[in-house]
């Protein structure tokens, strides 16, 4: 049995896979400091005793980017992924955990492309710590949009090669483009109101913004996943706004509301060590990390054995050994790649040369990328309080920070906005400047932001 838990903006949802169909929800404030007691309450509601769980975190805690490479080798892509994301994230690349959400696709004659998620290391570490305080160990952590898409593939199949997934959860909404059962693009945004027409208009804006910043992803059908019992008006509004057929994903009771919990549980239960997982780098799950460690150790052991064999051969003749060592370079590289799945060789000099070449290719690939101001705008807009009077007017992105000009009906809305930015885990406010009263009522203000170190 595997227990999947979704950390939602207003509730925790837990569902079991493989050992019954128990499911329950526990109220949650949305703050990380309240996560541990909420997890304990959820376990009590479910009546299960388990330590290992799979976790789906809110999609808006992550950023999503399409990345292109001038080559298709998976090992080379993995080695240059961080370089390709330089200056494309709201936070420094080294402060984030980067994880591909889809397989590599061909791009051009020799290139490839994929979709990746980026989540601050501090956020993932805080989630793991909260789970451990509740006696749990999350072996897989995924964005909720990825987990829900897996549930959708299992529930309705993939009759539509290109589809749009719209998932509504409280004040937030995930918009995902899926092609052949695999994610191609993702937008996570706040919902301005509960009015179906207003929500549909915001979703249309997100679709158009994604097309402008990341390139067009066509779709011929849309799926609406909510489970709040009021899907029909939104489905009709979406169908009219997007001009495509919209299917409401239905189930017994509140079954669609547990889509992400069941999806991440299924991913962890089937092939947890192969699933997309934000537990990487300093947050790695030790058991899965040891699999890679053993592969590297085995590769080094093989390389050492080969070296010893050739050293013994030196006793039979320098010439024969010299010829054999030349042939062994190819053998070592092939065996190293077979065991670790990485291109390279244990010899230091060839490894340094390979890394230098990867660096040069990454620089060339990164130089061709265009950083979209519209993408940064959406990173900030996600933190505008729902139903507030905040209107973002101008954004000035500069080295080391952002100058944001906005207006509001009253000062309380401005303070709420500033608090949400500080709590985002991405931005730090350096204070409000240029505050003034507007003719006819309301205030205008300027916020100086910088990326959280």
Q: E strands within 58-131?
A: 63-69, 96-100, 105-107, 111-120
Task: Report the pLDDT value the prediction gives residue 137, as an integer from 0 to 100.
Answer: 93
pTM of the entire structure? 0.64
**Which among 169, 230, 166, 256 is positioned nearest to 204, based on CA atoms?**
166
- Interatomic CA distance for residues 103 and 153, integer angstroms: 16
Contacts of 192 (CB under 8 A, 6+ apart): 198, 199, 202, 386, 387
Task: Report the pLDDT value the prediction gives residue 30, as an integer from 0 to 100.
Answer: 85
- Interatomic CA distance for residues 239 and 22, integer angstroms: 34
Domain ranges within the chain, ordered by starting residue:
295-346, 383-451
Task: Report the pLDDT value the prediction gives residue 293, as an integer from 0 to 100.
Answer: 47
pLDDT in tens, the chain (453 residues): 899 999 988 899 999 988 767 889 999 988 889 999 999 999 999 988 888 999 999 999 999 998 989 888 888 888 888 888 888 888 889 899 999 988 888 888 888 989 999 999 999 999 999 999 999 999 999 999 999 888 887 776 655 568 888 888 878 888 888 887 788 888 888 876 667 888 888 888 877 776 665 555 678 888 888 755 567 788 888 888 888 888 888 765 457 788 899 989 998 887 777 888 999 888 888 776 655 444 555 555 666 666 666 666 655 655 655 565 566 666 655 555 554 445 554 444 554 555 555 556 555 544 333 334 556 677 787 888 877 888 888 887 776 678 888 898 888 888 888 888 888 777 788 888 888 888 888 899 998 888 776
**Dmax (CA) of the chain:** 96
The neighbouring-strand residues paired with 445 are 406
**Which among 57, 58, 39 is positioned nearest to 48, based on CA atoms?**
39
* CB-count burial class (<10 Å; 0-12, 13-18, 19+) for 109: exposed
In 85-195, alpha helices (H): 121-133, 144-156
Number of CB atoms found within 10 A of residue 315's CB: 8
Task: Report the pLDDT value the prediction gives residue 366, as an integer from 0 to 100.
Answer: 45
Tokens of 231: 């899907």
Task: Report the pLDDT value the prediction gives residue 387, as an integer from 0 to 100.
Answer: 78
Specify the DSSP element, H or E, that contains 212.
helix 196-214
**φ/ψ bin of 18: left (φ > 0), alpha (ψ from -120 to 50), beta (otherwise):** left
- Interatomic CA distance for residues 88 and 241, integer angstroms: 30
User: What architecture (CATH level 2) is domain 383-451?
Assistant: 2-Layer Sandwich (3.30)
- Interatomic CA distance for residues 175 and 300, integer angstroms: 45
């Amino acid at each position: 049995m595997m227990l999947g838990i979704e950390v939602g903006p207003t509730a925790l949802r837990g569902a079991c896979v493989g050992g019954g169909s128990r499911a329950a929800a526990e109220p949650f404030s949305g703050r990380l400091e309240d996560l541990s007691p909420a997890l304990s309450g959820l376990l009590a509601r479910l009546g299960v005793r388990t330590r290992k769980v799979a976790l789906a975190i809110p999609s808006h805690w992550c950023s999503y980017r399409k990345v292109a490479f001038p080559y298709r080798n998976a090992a080379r892509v993995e080695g240059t992924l961080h370089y390709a994301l330089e200056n494309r994230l709201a936070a420094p690349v080294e402060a984030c955990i980067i994880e591909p959400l889809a397989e590599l696709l061909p791009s051009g004659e020799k290139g490839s492309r994929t979709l990746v998620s980026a989540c601050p290391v501090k956020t993932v570490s805080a989630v793991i710590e909260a789970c451990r305080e509740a006696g749990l160990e999350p072996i897989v952590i995924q964005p909720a949009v990825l987990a829900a898409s897996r549930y959708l593939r299992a529930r309705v199949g993939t009759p539509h090669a290109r589809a749009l997934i719209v998932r509504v959860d409280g004040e937030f909404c995930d918009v995902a483009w899926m092609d052949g059962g695999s994610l191609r693009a993702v937008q996570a945004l706040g919902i301005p109101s509960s009015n179906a027409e207003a929500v549909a208009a915001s979703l249309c804006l997100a679709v158009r913004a994604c097309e402008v910043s990341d390139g067009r992803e066509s779709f011929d059908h849309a799926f609406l996943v909510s489970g709040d019992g009021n899907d029909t008006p939104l489905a009709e509004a979406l169908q009219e706004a997007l001009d495509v057929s919209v299917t409401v994903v239905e189930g017994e009771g509140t079954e669609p509301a547990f889509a992400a919990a069941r999806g991440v549980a299924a991913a962890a239960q089937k092939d947890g060590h192969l699933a997309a997982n934000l537990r990487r780098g300093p947050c790695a799950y030790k058991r899965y990390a040891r699999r890679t460690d053993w592969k590297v150790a085995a590769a080094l052991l093989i390389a050492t054995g080969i070296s010893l064999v050739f050293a013994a051969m030196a006793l039979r003749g320098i010439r024969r050994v010299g010829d054999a060592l030349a042939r062994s370079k190819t053998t070592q590289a092939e065996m190293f790649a077979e065991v670790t799945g990485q291109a390279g060789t244990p010899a230091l000099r060839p490894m340094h040369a390979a890394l230098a070449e990867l660096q040069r290719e990454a620089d060339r690939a990164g130089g061709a990328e265009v950083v979209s101001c519209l993408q940064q705008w959406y990173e900030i807009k996600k933190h505008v309080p729902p139903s507030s009077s905040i209107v973002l007017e101008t954004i000035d992105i500069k080295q080391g920070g952002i100058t944001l000009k906005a207006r509001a009906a009253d000062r309380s809305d401005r303070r709420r906005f500033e608090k949400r930015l500080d709590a985002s885990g991405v931005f730090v406010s350096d204070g409000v400047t240029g505050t003034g009263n507007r003719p006819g009522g309301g205030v205008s203000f300027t916020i100086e932001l910088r990326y959280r170190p």
